[in-house]
Amino acid sequence: MTGTEIGTETDTGTDIGTGPDTGPETGPDIGPESGPDTSPGTSPAAGRMIGALIGSGVSSAMAPTAPPAPPAWLPRDLPDFTGRAEDVAAVSEALTRPAGAAPPIVLLAGMAGIGKSALAVHVAHRVAAHYPDGRLYVNLRGAGDDPLDPAPVLAAFLAALGVDPARIPAAAEERAALFRSSIADSRVLILLDDAADAEHVRPLLPGTGGCAVLITSRNRAFGLPGTEVRLLDCLSAQEAELLLGALIGAERAQAEPQALAELAGECGRLPLALRIAGARLAARPAWPVATMAERLADERRSLRMLRTGGESVEAAFAVSYRQLDAARQRAFRVCAVPDVPDFDTGLAAAVLRCPAVEAEELLEGLVDLGLLGSARPGRYAYHDLMRQYARAIEDPSTPAPDAQRTVTAATEYLRGGAVAAYERLLPGDMLVGKFTVFASYTACTASFAAPPPISFADATEAFNWFATEYAGIASLLRQAVAFPNSLARAAEVAVAASAYLAPTVRWLEAEETLRALLAAADAADDQVARAWLCYALTQALNFTHRYKEAEQFGTLGEEACAAAGAQCAGLLSCLLLQSADSAISVDDHDRALDAASRVAELAAATDDRPMATWSRLLLAEAHRGLEQWTEAEAELRAAVAGMDLLGERRGLTAARSALGDLLYARGRFAEAELEQQECLAESAEDPALADGEPVFRYRLAQAQLAGGAPARARESALLAVAAAEAVGETLARSRAYEVLVEALSMLGESEAAKRAAAAAAGTAQGLASATASDPASAPPPDPDPGPTPSTS
């Protein structure tokens, strides 16, 4: 035992915590607190320690000639400790409860750099008065390559308690027994910093309740019975900004509040990273805070920026990485490749090419060492800086992950889930059965027990899967732009995700990624990806009322289908239906009738019942536009019956709502009201139909108003406005306000009508501004409400 590093930050300064720390004033692994102990003389308990030494069978020669001062070995507290009020209160309370038969033991666990040591030292000083007989401290270096053996630690502890070092037993078991008897009747706090596991600390534990133990470790699976465990997370945004402000000065922090928030975010609110970034800024008073934030935003050099003096985020993480076996090292690196905020066991199994059970065991091992987070069973996430570290590792002992293959495997896994969810949400949709089975992926996964296909018990479960995975899907699609082998799969993921995009009206946020993927497909001359992406863009543009541009992408998609041949044969009909929808929306009903008729012919030739049923909906709209009322009604009633047989609820509500609107236009108001009520009943049972509710409600209000029920129309219009605002449907909201103004006027509520008219004008102005760049995208005139839900 050399006694060199006491009070130093754990892992070469990698677990500093939540404030600046210049290190201890003494430096040994085991040694006194900075500053003298202020206890006057020897406490009664210290005298009892000496008696215990003699009473335990140890020669009286081993007792000190003078009573020792109680050991006061805590490293100094951080002068700018910030945040963690709840943790401080909870740990303090646990350590100061009335003494029981067993000593209280608290474990602070978490990833490297999270601030375990800083919190432990801070709390230890806070409760020091409760332990007048001594405060012992040791940095056990459990996360490193050379952890301290408990035997020399016990020797140092015993010497501090007054035992002559020359007379301390040689055997570790005897030292532990002597240590327990020495403090049996005392109140001593023992801080065991950076412990490896339960076996590492077991010899250092007291045996009676007057003492207490505070342990820090990166190992969440510590395995010590009777321990109260606190899992530390990153600081809150406010705490992180306060810490940076304390480090760089309040004036600089207040001058750039936005940059300060960005810097805290780039540091991942990790205390070690915050402290290093703050120290670097403090040493560069001429630097704007924004400069540091911008440099950390560059993933290629962010970890290099987080070094100062002997401290480094990268070095802190490396200590944990070196503890892994080869299989977990590979898992740590491979699972960091896909750009997903979190992921499940199935995705890990897909990218690791191993059974799901094996993948879970590997991931849980990473969680235990703080290299991976797990907020709930079966889901995992990297801290942003930890992901960067995993991607940057250069380890000659393990091959670098194949990014192309990994991204492709992750995309295929999510494609399988997205397609399954789409087909569960829209079981009779025209795309069902037309998604591709990628033979190349099947071949590459045949050598192991691939993750079982994702399946869903009902539509709610499928929608919830999208809600959980959508952020990851969106990120992975952006990443796939750089990987040509992933483009076709990514394109199908994008199309399948429309089952989630439609009810949440998130088309605009997806559009940029769709355009980037299409550009990549063009560059790679991937006609299959091109066809699917043109379909996705046509769909998005129709939903956002940009019909002219939608028509252009529809034409490009048809060309790509022709070039792709059999692989995209089924997709051609879907593109033609999108083209028909675009044409209807710009009043080109002849072109719409032609496109829908082509679809009906293709469906008849291939016995494609879903496609034939969908074509009826668009045929009806085209006939209506041409004032062929009888043909339009016949097609809509056939569409309602067909959708009902297919179990396609979205198509069914679209057909019913269109039929109701047709009946309204023909003056059959009671029948029209009934159809819209049926649509609302369907949408109440299915979250995937939420985007249709505003249309159903304002059409219902129209029918009620025309049927002589202005009071009911007012209530329906108000509900339509609320539903439209909930999903961001501007066009439906505008129509609902128009009905509301008329209903209020008929009821004599002139002031309310004026307010509604003002709101309607504001909505119409916003809609006009959104479509100004594309005159053809202006909303169609009544009675046509815009793009039908059938094209979702």
CB 293 within 8 A of CB 133: no
**For 480-519, what is each residue's pLDDT tens digit?**
999 999 999 999 999 999 888 876 667 788 999 999 999 9
Fill in the amino acid letter for 564. Answer: A
User: Residue 439 pLDDT more than 80?
Assistant: no
Place 463 in a pLDDT band, splitting at 50, 70 and 90: very high
Per-residue DSSP letter, 108: E
Left if phi > 0, otherwise alpha if psi is -120 to 50, otherwise beta: which for 205? beta
- For residue 776, which of 583, 580, 534 has the smallest C-alpha distance? 583
The hierarchical CATH code for the domain 10-231 is 3.40.50.300
> How far is Cα 148 from Cα 142, in angstroms, rounded to an integer?
7
The predicted structure's pLDDT at residue 1: 42
Residues in the chain: 792
Q: What is the mean pLDDT of residues 181-210?
A: 95
Do the strands 373-376 and 379-381 form a parallel or antiparallel pair, or are they unpaired? antiparallel
Place of tokens 């703050």: 278
C-alpha to C-alpha distance for 153 and 6, rounded to whole angstroms: 11
pLDDT band at 261 (very low <50, low <70, confident <90, very high): very high
Residue from 200, 122, 196 nearest 154 by CA: 200
Amino acid at 613: T
pLDDT at 770: 46
Q: What pLDDT is attached to residue 338?
A: 97
Q: Report how far residue 489's alpha carbon sits from residue 413's, in angstroms, rounded to the nearest whole number.
A: 10
Question: Which one has a higher pLDDT value, 628 or 68?
Answer: 628
Mean pLDDT calculated for residue range 358-372: 95
Decide: 733 and 759 in contact? Cβ < 8 Å.
no
**Cα 302 from Cα 281, distance rounded (Å):** 14
- Report the alpha-carbon distance of residue 427 to residue 128 in Å, rounded: 66
Residue 421 · residue 462 · CB < 8 Å: yes
Q: In the predicted model, is pLDDT for residue 9 greater than 50?
A: no
**pLDDT of amino acid 186:** 93
Distance set, CA 574 to CA 18, 136, 671 (Å): 57, 73, 31
The dihedrals phi and psi of 104, each to the nearest 5 degrees, come to -70, 135
Q: How does pLDDT run across 553-585, given as a tens digit for each residue? A: 999 999 999 999 988 988 999 999 999 989 998
Q: What is the pLDDT of residue 502?
A: 73
Bridge partners (DSSP) of residue 464 are none
Fold for domain 678-792? Answer: 1.25.40
By three-state DSSP, how is residue 101 classified? coil
Q: Distance between CA 97 and CA 232 in Å, rounded?
A: 22
Query: Does residue 783 have a cis peptide bond before it, meaning omega lies within 30 degrees of 0?
Result: yes
CATH architecture of residue range(s) 324-401: Orthogonal Bundle (1.10)
Residues linked to residue 135 through DSSP beta bridges, in sequence order: 72, 189
| Residue in 166, 172, 135, 137 with CA at minimum distance from that of residue 152 | 172
Q: How confident is the model at residue 725 (pLDDT cuts 50, 70, 90)?
A: confident
| Distance set, CA 537 to CA 218, 513, 549, 579 (Å) | 47, 10, 9, 12
Q: Look at residue 737 and tell me whether its pLDDT is greater than 60.
A: yes
Beta-bridged to residue 213, according to DSSP, are 105, 190
- Evaluate if residue 55 carries a pLDDT over 80: no
Q: How far, in Å, CA of 354 to CA of 451, rounded?
A: 8
Q: In this structure, which long-range contacts are made by residues 393-400, counting pairs with CB atoms below 8 Å and at least 24 apart in sequence?
A: 393/321, 393/333, 395/329, 395/333, 397/326, 397/329, 398/326, 398/329, 398/330, 398/333, 400/333
Structure tokens belonging to residue 348: 């890990």
In angstroms and rounded to an integer, the radius of gyration of the C-alpha atoms of the chain is 34
Least confidently predicted of 69-73, 182-186, 392-396 = 392-396
Q: Closest Cα partner for 151 from 107, 202, 212?
A: 202
pLDDT (average), residues 189-207: 96
Q: How confident is the model at residue 788 (pLDDT cuts 50, 70, 90)?
A: very low
Phi, psi of 80 (to 5 degrees): -120, 35
Per-residue pLDDT of 262-296, as tens digits, reads: 999 999 999 999 999 999 999 999 999 999 999 99
Q: Quick one: average pLDDT of 586-606?
A: 93
Contact 292, 263 (CB under 8 A): yes
Digit-coded pLDDT (tens) for 317-346: 999 999 999 999 999 999 999 999 999 999
Residue 669 has pLDDT above 80, yes or no: yes
Q: Taking the CA atoms of 194, 197, 200 and 205 in sequence, report the sign of the dihedral they define.
A: positive
- 129 exposed, middle or buried (CB, 10 Å; 0-12, 13-18, 19+)? exposed
212 alpha-carbon distance from chain centroid: 38
User: Structure tokens of 68?
Assistant: 């020792």
Confidence of residue 700 (pLDDT cuts 50, 70, 90): very high
Rounded Cα distance between 521 and 534, Å, is: 10
- State the pLDDT at residue 438: 66
Contact at 8 Å (CB) between 309 and 282? no
Q: Which pLDDT does position 12 carry in this prediction?
A: 34
CA distance 567 to 420: 19
pLDDT of the residue at 56: 35
Q: Residue 399 — very low, low, confident or very high, per pLDDT cuts 50/70/90? A: confident
Measured N-to-C along each axis, helices 569-585 and 547-564 cross at an angle, to the nearest 10 degrees, of 160
Question: With 90 as the cut, is the pLDDT of residue 247 above it?
Answer: yes
Select from 328, 337, 400, 316 the least CA-distant residue to 364: 328
Percent over 70 (pLDDT), the chain: 85
Domain range list for the chain? 10-231, 237-315, 324-401, 402-545, 678-792
User: Residue range 425-429: average pLDDT?
Assistant: 85
Q: Which amino acid is at 766?
A: G
Q: Helical H runs in 456-585?
A: 459-480, 487-496, 498-504, 507-524, 527-543, 547-564, 569-585
Instruction: Report angle CA 326, 327, 329 to the nearest 5 degrees.
Output: 65
Q: How far apart, in whole angstroms, are the C-alpha atoms of residue 32 and residue 16?
A: 19
Residue-by-residue DSSP string for 666-684: TT-HHHHHHHHHHHHHHHH
**Which parts of 314-451 are beta strand (E)?**
343-344, 373-376, 379-381
Distance CA(458)–CA(453), nearest Å, equals 15
Could you tell me the two tokens for 88? 């401080």
For residue 229, list its beta bridge partners: 107
Q: What is the pLDDT of residue 31?
A: 53
If DSSP codes are grouped into helix, strand and coil, which group holds residue 311? strand
CA distance 497 to 269: 32
Q: Tell me the residue ranges of DSSP E strands in 363-498.
A: 373-376, 379-381
The count of C-alpha atoms lying within 13 angstroms of the C-alpha of 759, restricted to the half-sphere facing its C-beta, is: 20
